[in-house]
Each structure stands twice: as C-alpha cells, then as structure tokens.
Amino acid sequence: MSGMSGASARPAAKAQTPLAYFAAQTLKAFNTNKTSWIGLAVFLVIVALAIFAPALAPFDPTDQNILEKLRPPSAEHWLGTDSFGRDTLSRVLYGARISLVIGVVSTLAAMLIGSAIGMLAGWHGGRIDTVTMQTMDVLLAFPSLILGLILVAMLGPSMVNIIIAIALTSIPPFARIARAPTIAIKEREFVLAGRALGFSDARIVAGHILPNIFPEILVMGSLWLANAIRTEASLAFVGLGVKPPTPTWGGMIREGFENILDSYTLALVPSVSILVVIFALNLLGDGLRDAVDPKLKGET
C-alpha cells in the first residue's frame, strides 16, 4: 500500500492509472492466499441466489399449507416444509436477502462512520483523540451482542432499527483500524507536500490518507460483514428479527428449534446456510488480511 509514491519512480511511458494500480494490488492480495478466491466465489454464489430468489424459489415463501406441514425432504419440497407447510427451500432463498441486506447496509454504515471517526481522531491527535478512542474502547468492552439485543428491544424490531443497532455495535473496530495508519501516514512526506501546497485538511485526509488505509478497512469490512450476519441471525433467533412471516435465517432456526423433535431439517437447513456465508466471508477476509497487514508483509 506504500507503493503509491513508488509508482511514480517508474518510466513515465508506462505510468499506471490509480485504478489499474488498485486492481493490480487487489489481484495480488487475492493471489497471496488462494482461499480468498474460494471465499469470494462462494459468497458471490450466495449473493446471486439471494438476488434471483424470486425466479429460483419453487414456492411463495409465505404460502401456508397446513396439510403439508413438517414434511421431510421430497421431490416436491426439496428441503421439506415447516410447521405452517411453507417450503423450506424457498424460505431459505428469500431469507438470504434479509441477512445480506441487513449485513451489508449495517457494515457499510459502520465502515463509513467508524473510519471517519478513526481518521479524525488520528489526524487531530491530542485531547480529541484520547476522548474519542477511550469512548470507542468502552463501547468495544461491552458485549456487542447484548448491546444489540437491548437496542433492538428498546427501538422495536424493524429492519431499520436492526441495521442501526448492528451498525452502532460495529463502529469501534473500524475507528481503531483507521486511526493507527492515519497517525503513521500523517508524518509522511506526501502529506507534508500536500500541506506545503496549501491543501485543506479535508482534502489531504480524503485524497491522500483514505486511499492508503482503504485496503485495511475493506478487509475488516468483510470480516465484520460476517459478524453482522451472525448478529442479525442471533437477534432473529431470540425473536428480535424482522417480523414474521418474512423469512429470516435466524427466525427459521428459531421455528426449527421449536419443532426440533419433529423435524431436524427445519433447524439444520438455515443453520448450514448461515455457516456457509460466514465461513466464506471469513475465508475471504482472512486470506486478504495476510496480504494487507503490514506486519505480515514480505512473509509467505
């Protein structure tokens, strides 16, 4: 990531555009650990399944059919039916949408707010830095799942409130990860040069510091997306998810758990789905982290 200044040293004829440079770096990061490719592929397949759920799902996910309730997997219902006779496969496909939307939106919000807080704290230093990061540490110390549970319970379980609660609990790690490199980078020559040219603080931070810490934030993002999906499922599991009959994976596990003695597939199918998504995201983020983490650079 420090190659930004190095790129200009090359012959001018073959100067890389910033975008091409970024693409090349990304490709290199992916190739550091081949498992990142597997993670990305699996995740994209799940995203595609979620997007095309209306076309792929054999049944309406909320269509009840009491005569067909708690059926084991069959040719008609590949993954069986639940206690209302709803098709489990269709519900899992639609449930992916809720998990992904809540996960992605809340993680993006946390990324934006958290990195902004971290960069500002690191950039200003002094008292602002101390107070902000102390606050972040306090938030980080509190069990995020419990904070999320209480926030959603008090705000009421709607999609927007769930997103707010998950985003709030994921802000501190992003603030932390954005702060440290900001402090290191603000002493570098190109920042000094920017200052000498009379650039405003905002321009230096947005134009020259952000691109340098962006890869790390992005990697953290994939790991925290996994965490957000897990938190959403946990909330839904204790009854604080998006209101039924909208299918959510956590809610489906809850229903499956209540009928666990009658049908084991009911709890198992959404459980495995969640596990696959989170595992794929962890593979992706973990593989990329090795490439991005400056401490590990030059290894492997």
Contact residues for other proteins, defined by CB under 8 A: 35, 134-135, 137-146, 149-151, 153-155, 226, 230, 233-234, 237-240, 253, 256-257, 260-261, 264, 267-268, 271, 274-275, 278-279, 282-283, 286, 295, 300
Minimum distance between the CB of residue 89 and other proteins, rounded to whole angstroms?
19
Minimum distance between the CB of residue 3 and other proteins, rounded to whole angstroms?
24
Q: Nearest to residue 116, comparing CAs of 212, 16, 206, 219?
A: 206
Q: Nearest to residue 104, comparing CAs of 167, 26, 156, 168?
A: 167
Nearer Cβ to other proteins (85/157) = 157
Minimum distance between the CB of residue 264 and other proteins, rounded to whole angstroms?
6
The amino acid occupying position 202 is A
Nearer Cβ to other proteins (127/295) = 295
Task: Extract the tokens encoding 185.
Answer: 């980078």
Q: Answer yes or no: are the C-beta atoms of 86 and 59 closer than 8 Å.
A: yes
Nearer Cβ to other proteins (33/212) = 33
Minimum distance between the CB of residue 279 and other proteins, rounded to whole angstroms?
4
Residues 6+ apart with CB under 8 A from 297: none
Nearer Cβ to other proteins (205/223) = 223
For residue 156, give the 3-state DSSP assignment: coil
H-only helix segments in 126-264: 126-141, 144-155, 159-185, 189-196, 201-204, 210-237, 249-258
Nearer Cβ to other proteins (70/140) = 140
